[in-house]
Amino acid sequence: MVLQALEAAQWIRLTSCAADLTIYAGDFNSEPTDVPFNILRQVGGLEDSWAVVNGSKEGGGTCGTPYNTYTTSKEKKEAPAGKRIDYILYTSGPKIQVSAVECKLPLPQRIPVSINYKQLSYSDHEGVAAVLKIENNQGKSGEQKRQSSEREQCLERATALVKNAVEASRKDKFIFLIISIFCLVCFLLTFSGT
């Protein structure tokens, strides 16, 4: 996921430089404290509409929420309030200033019509809605600058994760090679005349 997030962040930076507004939204399968999400924010230069409006406090759970009928008991034990993995991220272009003024989970917790005498949730994920305020920026740069130290820390964490994965892959490759040689020797020994 780290490499996918880095690729997406680079794609966003390359394709959004001339756009007035870029919105990147969806299910990222990454929580706000995870490295892939922070790569999108730091490298992609994106703002998280939920965090801008509601702060970094708890809340905004979109998956595995306790009131969702699709949530399993295991999910409820792992994350009692649910996980926030669905986002509306945005960034402004050179002539526009954008700010999130509202971000919420707009749908009711259950479908009002009951099916087989049981009300259901709309989906296994809660919907997210944001209201963005767009203003002319009089030609000033609308890009919200990130401190280079935050970006560097994020990339260092991502690099460490990738290095660990590469090292684990090397170890696995060596182990599989030894097992393959052992199996080949055993196979050849079955044909030897005893």
Residues 76 and 123 in one domain: yes
pLDDT score, position 141: 44
* Enclosing domain of residue 27: 2-146
Specify which residues 130 forms β-bridges with.
103
Query: pTM above the 0.85 mark?
Result: no
- Give the model's confidence band at 194: pLDDT under 50 very low, under 70 low, under 90 confident, else very high: low
C-beta of residue 137 within 8 angstroms of C-beta of residue 93? no
Residues 150-187: tens digit of each pLDDT: 667 777 777 787 788 888 888 999 999 999 999 999 88
% helix, strand, coil for the chain, step of 5: 40, 20, 40
Tell me: do 44 and 109 sit in the same domain: yes
My answer on whether 45 and 96 are in the same domain is yes
Per-residue pLDDT tens digits for 53-103: 988 767 888 888 888 888 888 988 988 888 999 999 999 888 888 889 999
Residues 121 and 169 placed together within one structural domain of the fold = no
Helices then strands, counting H and E runs in the chain, come out as: 5, 5
Q: Is there a single domain that holds both residue 174 and residue 125?
A: no
Question: How many structural domains comprise the chain?
Answer: 2
- Confidence at residue 181, expressed as pLDDT on a 0 to 100 scale: 93
Question: Does 138 share its domain with 172?
Answer: no
Same-domain status, 28 and 102:
yes
